[in-house]
């Protein structure tokens, strides 16, 4: 009987775990447009979405990308970013964006603004699409 109760309790654990990522704290169901990178306006087009629990995706200036992201809010840690390999004239902006996305560690969602930061401060500022 005792082992049955332990087994029942352990099998219920996965059902108790909800989405604790930034997606569940205001970032999900929105498309976020990058407006600022390292304190400067970002003129190229880059987006970030949270299409499902444990995943980020979006459009960088040249290529579509996706990555795993499973740390709890307010932490932010993009795993290995997979991106298409299309060349374009704005590859420098894309590299800067994707590099910053892998370096940020903290997220803050304030209504239609999402700020991703690292130890040096704000790195990426996004606005939700209208």
Contacts for 73-80: CB closer than 8 Å, 24+ residues apart: 73/20, 73/21, 73/22, 73/24, 73/25, 73/107, 74/22, 74/25, 74/106, 74/107, 74/108, 75/105, 75/106, 75/107, 76/22, 76/104, 76/105, 76/106, 76/107, 76/116, 77/105, 78/102, 78/104
pTM of the predicted protein model: 0.82
- Before 75, cis peptide (omega within 30)? no
Low-confidence ranges of the chain (pLDDT < 70): 1-17, 130
pLDDT at 29: 87
Q: pLDDT tens digits, residue range 62-96?
A: 999 999 998 999 999 999 999 999 989 999 999 99
First to last CA, the chain: 56
From 98, 105, 103, select the one nearest 81 (Cα to Cα): 98
pLDDT at 23: 81
Q: Which residues partner with 6 through β-bridges?
A: none
Distance CA 105, CA 75 (A): 6
Q: Domain ranges for the chain, please list them.
A: 19-128
pLDDT at 17: 54
pLDDT at 92: 95
pLDDT at 3: 46
For the 19-128 domain, the top CATH level (class) is mainly beta
């Amino acid at each position: 009987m005792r082992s049955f109760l332990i087994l029942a309790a352990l099998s219920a654990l996965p059902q108790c775990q909800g989405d604790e990522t930034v997606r569940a704290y205001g970032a999900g169901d929105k498309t976020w447009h990058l407006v600022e990178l390292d304190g400067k306006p970002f003129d190229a087009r880059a987006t970030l979405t949270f299409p499902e629990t444990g995943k980020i995706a979006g459009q960088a200036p040249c290529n579509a990308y996706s990555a795993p992201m499973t740390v709890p809010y307010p932490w932010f840690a993009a795993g290995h970013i997979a991106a298409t390999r299309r060349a374009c004239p704005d590859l420098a902006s894309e590299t800067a964006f994707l590099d910053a996305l892998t370096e940020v560690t903290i997220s803050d969602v304030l209504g239609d603004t999402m700020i991703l930061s690292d130890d040096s401060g704000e790195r990426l500022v996004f606005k939700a699409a209208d």
